[in-house]
Amino acid sequence: MKFGTTITAIDAHAGGEPGRVIIGGVIDVPGDSMLAKRDHLAREGDQLRKLMLREPRGYPATCCNLVLPPTIPQADAGFVIMEQAEYPGMSGSNTICTATVLIAERLVSVTEPVTDLVLEAPAGLIRVRAVVRNGVARSITFENVPAFAVHLDAPVEVPDIGTVNVDVAWGGMFFAIVEAAALGLALTPDEGRDIVRIGEMVKAAAREQIPVAHPLMPGLGGISIAELTAPPTVPGVDGRNTVVVSSGTLDWARPASFTGVLDRSPCGTGTCARMAVEHARGRLAIGQDFVHEGILGTTWTGRLLREASVGPYRAVVPQLTGRAWITGRTEFVVDPDDPFPEGFTLGDLWGIEPS
């Protein structure tokens, strides 16, 4: 993989969740699929993720997407998702940001009032329908990869908390889903610090005690995120949630390492995972809308399109509708004398030791 002298990125947010989209400056990433390209970046090119997400160019809540030529003929573009602690197979907010940027920058064929395109994510092909007006994507609807529940009400022993029942489901990554009330939380913004700490503890315990892997893509395995749920606060909404995105490696011997950031949006893959659980419990029918509220009160609308199967699991194909707004355009450079070519983290914000 080679870098140009300048990395061009468009910043956007989807429902409040920031998603940076790299559209120039990365010459090539080896791999015969987007999953293989993701794996190559993780092994050989992780400096790009660190450069774009760590300070002084990034921030703990920032995500980043690298736009690449697709490896599958029917796809219009490919993208690799980079977050603070991992390379997810799929992300809803990042898909919405990436599609919005591709349309705004005319990197795909654009028609009004509707533009259809196919994106290749590491987890598979994502079909997108955008409502476009005056060259701007006003809404993004995408058909996600099949989602499925793996465990319902699985008991997990969490140190200092006790036994917690979690649902484990795949919506593009694996989620441990738990009711906030069972943890003494109401999912209000002022609880942010406690939600992060407790959510990370639940995630770490669930990851240790409930090993999972995608049956068709074993490289996409392990519980990545804790999703906390609660009743909605907005009329016409079906549920409320927030998910905790890790900002570093968790270490039970070092409690300060249990830190992360809240997804500012209603979380696309988390919504898909929750819809799979609701369907498995018989509470959400095919074709029924599911309006999901995030920690900021923003909402996205999900729907289960049809049933499917993934290996041994009964699955559903979810659809999600949301919107992103472009916030800026930046040309990033790395001076040869810059002492932080891969950025840095400090414990005041990141909760992990400086690196």
Both structure tokens of 276: 């799979």
d(CA 292, CA 306): 19
Candidates 91, 93, 224, 265; catalytic one: 91
Neighbours of 39 (CB within 10 A): 17
In sequence order, what are the beta bridge partners of 154?
166
The three-class DSSP label of residue 42 is helix
Whether 93 is catalytic: no
Helices 92-104/268-280 angle, 10° precision: 130
Which residue type sits at 275? M
Task: Tell me which H or E stretch contains 242.
Answer: strand 239-246
**Exposure letters 292-325 (e unless 16+ CB within 10 A, then b):** bbbbbebbbbbbbeeeeebeebebbbbbbbbbbe
Task: Tell me which H or E stretch contains 273.
Answer: helix 268-280
Indicate which residues carry an active-site annotation: 91
